Amino acid sequence: MSPRTTEQYDKLKKDRKNEILDVALELFGNKGFTQTSISAIAKEAGISKGLMYNYFESKADLLDGVIQHVDEDTMHFFADIMVLEDANEVLVQLITRTGKFLKEKREYNTLITSLSLQKDVHSVVRDFADKKMVEMMPFLENLLKQQGFENPEEEAVLFGAIIDGMSVQFLSTENEAYLNKTIQLLLKRYTV
Amino acid sequence: MSPRTTEQYDKLKKDRKNEILDVALELFGNKGFTQTSISAIAKEAGISKGLMYNYFESKADLLDGVIQHVDEDTMHFFADIMVLEDANEVLVQLITRTGKFLKEKREYNTLITSLSLQKDVHSVVRDFADKKMVEMMPFLENLLKQQGFENPEEEAVLFGAIIDGMSVQFLSTENEAYLNKTIQLLLKRYTV
Amino acid sequence: MSPRTTEQYDKLKKDRKNEILDVALELFGNKGFTQTSISAIAKEAGISKGLMYNYFESKADLLDGVIQHVDEDTMHFFADIMVLEDANEVLVQLITRTGKFLKEKREYNTLITSLSLQKDVHSVVRDFADKKMVEMMPFLENLLKQQGFENPEEEAVLFGAIIDGMSVQFLSTENEAYLNKTIQLLLKRYTV
Amino acid sequence: MSPRTTEQYDKLKKDRKNEILDVALELFGNKGFTQTSISAIAKEAGISKGLMYNYFESKADLLDGVIQHVDEDTMHFFADIMVLEDANEVLVQLITRTGKFLKEKREYNTLITSLSLQKDVHSVVRDFADKKMVEMMPFLENLLKQQGFENPEEEAVLFGAIIDGMSVQFLSTENEAYLNKTIQLLLKRYTV
DNA sequence: CATGAATGAGCCTTCATTCAT
DNA sequence: GATGAATGAAGGCTCATTCAT
C-alpha cells in the first residue's frame, strides 16, 4: 500500500548492486572485459538488461564499480600488516596473504592484470598500478634491510618480481600446487 | 605480360601473408584481439577485407597464424643458446636475450600474456605455455646446478618467477630502465 | 492527522496536474515531444515516474493534456476581443495579443507548429488547426471589410499568412526585435 | 572474375546513395527525424540496416546528406532568377517557383522547417536559415523598390512573412488549392 | 496515493563473414 | 586473385510502461 522506505530501497539496491558486481567480476575476470556483454551479466544475475542501467551508467562505469568494490576488500586483506612491528612477521604475512589473495580473488587479479596490459587502460587501473609501485617499493626495502639483507634495494626489486611472476603464473595456469611451492620458497628465502 | 611462375606466386603470397601477420600482431598486441577488427588490419595492410579470407579462414585462424609466426622467430632468438657448452654463458645469454626479446617483440609478448589470462584460451596458447613449463624447468635446473647452487630445483622456480615478473612488469609499464635494472640484478645473482 | 477532505484532494490533484503540464510543455516545446522522456518530466516536476501515470494514461495522453491546457489559456488570451464593437480596436488587439501570445507561450506555439508539420499528427492538433481556419477566416474577413478594404476576402488570406509567417519566423529565430517590427507593420497596414 | 572497376563502384555507390537519400528525405519529412529509424529507412530502401553505415557514418551524417542533396536542387530551382533584368519578372518567378518548390519538395521543406524549430538544431540548418535572411532581404528590398513601392524595406518584411506563412500553411495542411490562391494574391499585389 | 525497481522492445552502431563481379 | 558491397547477429544503451510494496 505504502511505498517502501528509503532505507528499504537503499538496502535492496545495495544488495542487488553487490550481486551484479559479483557476477560482473566473475565474467570480466574469466572472459575479459570486452568479451563479456552486459546481456551476459544480466542473464547470469537473473535480471533484465535494462535494469543494469539502473545501477550503472555504462559498461565502463560497471568496470569502475567492480574494481573499487574489490579494492575495498583488498585493503582489508593487507590493512593490519602495516601495523605489525616485527619486520619478519610483516614479510611472512605479506607473502602468505598474497597467496591467499590470489586464490580467493583470482578473477579480480586476472582482470586487473589483463587491463594493465592494454594501452588504453582505464585510468583507475593505471593509478592503482602507479600507487602500488611508489608506495610498495620503499616499504619493502625497509623490511628487507631489517631482515639483514646487504642490498635491500636490489633485493626489493627481485622480491617484487618474484611476487608478480608467481601471480601471473598462477593466474595463467591456475596451478595451486605450484603457487604454494613458490610461496614456501619465498618464505624460506626472505623470512626466518 | 608473361604469366608469373608458380614460384613467383608463392613468394608473393608468402610476403603478403607475412605482412598481414605483422600488422595483425601489432594491432592485436597494442589494442587487444577482440578490440581489433579485420577491417582495421586490412586497411593497415593495404589490402581488401575480402582478401584477408584468402589467407586466413577466420579471425581465430589469423590469431593462430600470428602466434605461430612469432613462435618461429622466438626459436631463432633462443635456438643457438642450447648448444653452448658453458652453463654460465648459457645463463648470460638466456637473461640478456629475454630482455631483448621483450623489447623487440613487445606486442607479441603482450598478446600472449593477455591470451594466457583468459579461460577460453585458444589451445595454441595453452599448449605453448605447458610446453614452456615442461621443457624449460629441467633445463634451467641443470644450468643452475652447474653454477653451484645448492638447491637448483628451488632456485629454478625463483629464477622462472623473476623472469615472468620482470616480463609482466615491463609489458604493463613499458618502463625500459626498470627492465634493464632487473636484468642486471639477474646477471649479478645467477652468473659470474 | 485528520484525513483531507475530498475537495482538498481534488485541489491538490489539480495543482499537481497543472505543474506536470507546465513542465511537460516547457520540455516538449524546447526539446520536442519525442526527444523528451517521461523520466525527465517527472524529475523536473519533482515527482516519481510512476505517479505520472496516475494523472495521464500515456505519453500521448500527456501531450493531449498539454495542448488542451494551453488551449484554455489561449481562449482567455483572445476571448474578450470578440466582444469589442470597434473593428479597428479588434484588429489592434488581435495583432498585439498575437505578439504577446507568441512571446509568452513560445514553447506552446513551437510545439503546436512542430506537431502540425507531422503526418501522423495527433487528432487533437489536426482538429485544432482545422477549427482555427474555419472559424477565423470569416471573422477576419468581416473585420477587414469594416476597415474599408476593397477585397476583404483576399486581404484576410494575406493577413493570415503574415501572422503565420511572422510566427514561424519568431519561433525559429527567437528574434524578438524582428517580431516587434513586423507587428508594427501589421498595425500600420491594417489599423488606424 | 575480375573485380569491378573503380568507376563501376562509384556509379553503383552513388546511385544507391541517392536512393537512400530519397527514402530518408521522404521519411524524415513525413515522420520527423527522431521518429524515423535507420531500420525503417533501410527496409524502405530494400537494403540491410548494416549497409546504411557503408554510405553514411551516422544518422546525423545521413541528415546532413539529405539536406545537402536537396540544397543542390534548390539552387537549380532559383538559380537563373537572379540574372533576370526585369524586376517584375524576377518577382513573378520568385513567387511561382516558390509555389512549385513547396509542392515538389514538400518533404524537404517540412523537414527543414521542423528542424529550424528545435533548439539544438544541426548547424547546417542554422547556417542555412541565417544565410537566407541576410542575403534575401536586401535583394527583395531592391526588387520592390523597382516595382515602385514607397517603403520597400517594410514591404520586404511583409512579403517575406507572407511567403513563410504561406509555406507553413501548406506544409501543415497540404491544401494545394489554398496555396495556389495565396500565390495568385501575391502576384496580384507585387507584380503587374 | 506514491515510489522506483523492473521489464522488454527498439534504437544506433559495429563487425565477422560471404559473395557477385 | 582481388574487390568492397552486402548481410545479420550482436552489442551498448534508452525509455514508455507496469507493478509490488
Over residues D79-89, the mean pLDDT reads 88
Torsion, Cα A47 A52 A53 A54, to 10 degrees, reads 70
pLDDT confidence band for A172 (50 / 70 / 90)? very high
Report the pLDDT averaged over residues C142-163: 95
Tell me how far apart the alpha carbons of residues B158 and B150 are, in angstroms, rounded to a whole number.
13
Set of chain C residues whose Cβ sits within 8 Å of the Cβ of D116: 172
Judge whether residue D13 contacts strand F, using its CB and a 7 Å cut-off.
Answer: yes
CA B130 to chain centre: 14
The better pLDDT of the pair A76, D52 is held by D52
* Cβ neighbourhood burial of A127 (10 Å; 0-12, 13-18, 19+): exposed
D1 pLDDT above the threshold of 50: no
Question: Which pLDDT does position B121 carry in this prediction?
Answer: 65
Quote the CA–CA distance of C127 and D50 in Å, as a whole number: 40
Q: Which of C32, C129, C165 sits opposite D165 (nearest CB)?
A: C165
Q: Does A158 touch chain B (CB under 8 A)?
A: yes
Inter-chain CB pairs, C–D, below 8 Å: 101
Chains C and B touch (3+ CB pairs under 8 A): no
Question: Are D31 and C118 within 8 A, CB to CB?
Answer: yes
The answer to whether A60 contacts chain B (CB < 8 Å) is no
Q: Is chain C touching chain D, with at least 3 CB–CB pairs below 8 Å?
A: yes
Per-residue pLDDT at B84 exceeds 50: yes
pLDDT-derived band at B4 (thresholds 50, 70, 90) equals low
Name the residue in chain C with its Cα closest to that of D184: C154
Q: What is the per-residue pLDDT for C34?
A: 94
Flag whether pLDDT at B1 surpasses 50: no
- Between C115 and B13, residue with greater pLDDT: C115
pTM: 0.90
pLDDT of amino acid A85: 86
pLDDT at A156 over 60: yes
Q: Could you tell me which residue, A124 or B170, shows the higher pLDDT?
A: B170
| Residue range of the domain that includes A25 | 6-190
User: Does B21 or C120 have the greater pLDDT score?
Assistant: B21
Contact across the interface for A182 and B158, Cβ inside 8 Å: yes
Query: Tens digit of pLDDT for each residue in C172-181?
Result: 999 999 999 9
pLDDT for position A28: 96
Confidence band for D75, pLDDT divided at 50, 70 and 90: confident
The residue behind cell 560482473 is: A24
Residue A7 pLDDT:
67
Q: What is the DSSP letter of A102?
A: H
- pLDDT tens-digit map of C125-141: 777 777 777 888 999 99
Instruction: Give the residue whose CA sits closest to E21 at C1'.
Output: D3
Quick check: D172 and C129 CB within 8 A?
yes
Cα B8–chain centre separation: 30
Distance, in angstroms, between C9 CA and closest chain D CA? 38
Asked if A160 reaches chain B (Cβ–Cβ under 8 Å), the answer is: yes
Nucleotide nearest to B57 (CA to C1'): E17
Q: Which residue of B has its CA nearest to A109?
A: B117
CA of D36 to C1' of E9 (A): 16
Q: Is residue C109 part of a domain?
A: yes
Alpha-carbon distance values, D45 to A8, D27, D38, D42, D110 (Å): 52, 11, 10, 5, 21
Contact between chains at C185 and D118 (C-beta distance less than 8 A): no
Q: Using an 8 Å CB-CB cutoff, list chain C residues near D133.
A: 173
Which residues 58-87 on A are within 7 A of strand E at the CB atom? Answer: none
If pLDDT is split at 50, 70 and 90, which confidence band does A1 have?
Answer: very low
Where residue C2 falls among pLDDT bands split at 50, 70, 90? very low
Mean of all residue pLDDT scores within chain A: 90
- pLDDT score for D39: 95
Q: Is residue B1 part of a domain?
A: no
pLDDT digits (tens, 9 = 90+) for C45-79: 999 999 999 999 999 999 999 999 888 888 888 88
Which chain B residues 36-65 have CB under 7 A to strand E?
A: 36-39, 49-50, 52-53, 58-60
Q: Do the Cβ atoms of D164 and C168 come within 8 Å?
A: yes
Give the total number of structural domains in chain A. 1
Kindly indicate the confidence band of residue D187, based on its pLDDT and cuts at 50, 70 and 90: very high
Long-range interactions of A184-188: CB distance < 8 A, separation 24+: A185/B154, A185/B157, A185/B158, A186/A95, A186/A159, A186/A162, A187/A92, A187/A95, A187/A96, A188/B154
Query: Between these two residues, A126 and C170, which has the higher pLDDT value?
Result: C170
- Taking only the tens place, the pLDDT of each residue in D38-74 is 999 999 999 999 999 999 999 999 999 999 988 888 8
Query: Is the Cβ–Cβ distance between C23 and C41 less than 8 Å?
Result: yes
Closest CA to C95 of C144, C130, C52, C47: C144
| Predicted local confidence at residue D117, as pLDDT | 92
| Grid cell 491594417 in the structure block, residue | C190
The secondary structure of B73-112 as a DSSP string is: HHHHHHHTTTT-S-HHHHHHHHHHHHHHHHHHTHHHHHHH
- Subunits close to D (at least 3 CB pairs below 8 A): C
Instruction: Say if A1 falls within a structural domain.
Output: no
Among B1-5, B34-38, B115-119, name the most confident range. Answer: B34-38
% chain A with pLDDT above 90: 71
The answer to whether the Cβ–Cβ distance between C116 and D165 falls below 8 Å is no
What is the residue-wise DSSP string for chain C?
-PPPPHHHHHHHHHHHHHHHHHHHHHHHHHH-TTTS-HHHHHHHHTS-HHHHHHH-SSHHHHHHHHHHHHHHHHHHHHHTTTT-S-HHHHHHHHHHHHHHHHHHTHHHHHHHHHHHT-TT--HHHHHHHHHHHHHHHHHHHHHHHHTT-S-HHHHHHHHHHHHHHHHHHHHHH--HHHHHHHHHHHHHHH--
The CA–C1' separation of A28 and E1, in angstroms, is: 43
The answer as to whether C1 is a domain residue is no
Q: Nearest nucleotide (C1') to the CA of residue A1?
A: F21
3-state secondary structure D74-111: HHHHHHCCCCCCCHHHHHHHHHHHHHHHHHHCHHHHHH
In a domain, residue C171? The reply is: yes
In chain B, which residue's Cα lies nearest the Cα of A125?
B172
A12/chain B closest Cα distance in angstroms:
32
| Each residue's pLDDT tens digit, B145-179 | 999 999 999 999 999 999 999 999 999 999 999 99
- Residue B46 and residue B66: Cα distance in Å, rounded? 18
| pLDDT the model gives residue B83 | 83
- Of the CA atoms within 13 Å of residue A29, those in its CB half-sphere come to 21
The CATH number of whichever domain residue A149 belongs to comes to 1.10.357.10
Read off the pLDDT of each residue in C147-166 and give the average, rounded to a whole number: 96
- Asked whether residue C40 is domain-assigned, the answer is yes
**Mean pLDDT, chain D, as a whole number?**
90
Domain assignment of residue D186, yes or no: yes
C71-127 pLDDT, tens digit each? 888 888 888 888 888 999 999 999 999 999 999 999 999 999 999 998 776 767 777
Nucleic acid strand F: bases within 7 A of protein CB: 1-21
B34 with A30: Cβ contact below 8 A: no
* B99 interaction partners in chain A (CB closer than 8 Å): none
For residue C161, give the nearest of D113, D169, D172 by CB distance.
Answer: D169
Q: Please give the mean pLDDT across all residues of chain B.
A: 90
The reply to whether the CB atom of residue D3 sits less than 7 A from any atom in nucleic acid chain F is yes
All residues at 6 or more sequence positions from C87 whose CB lies less than 8 Å from its CB, including other chains: C142, C143, C146, C147
Side-chain-side CA neighbours of residue C119 (13 Å) = 13
Which of residues 15 to 34 on A have a Cβ less than 7 angstroms from any strand E atom?
16
Let me know: does A140 contact A159? Beta carbons within 8 Å: yes
From A13, A18, A121, select the one nearest A70 (Cα to Cα). A18
**pLDDT band, very low/low/confident/very high, at A46 (cuts 50, 70, 90):** very high
- Asked if B118 and A35 come within 8 Å (Cβ–Cβ), the reply is yes
To the nearest whole percent, how much of chain B has pLDDT over 70?
94
Q: Is C132 on the interface with D (CB under 8 A)?
A: no
* C34/D30 CB distance under 8 A: no
Find the range with the poorest average confidence among B83-87, B168-172, C21-25: B83-87
> Using the beta-carbon criterion (under 8 Å), do D116 and C172 form an inter-chain contact?
yes
pLDDT of residue B39: 96
D119 part of a folded domain: yes
pLDDT digits (tens, 9 = 90+) for D12-41: 778 889 999 999 999 999 999 999 999 999
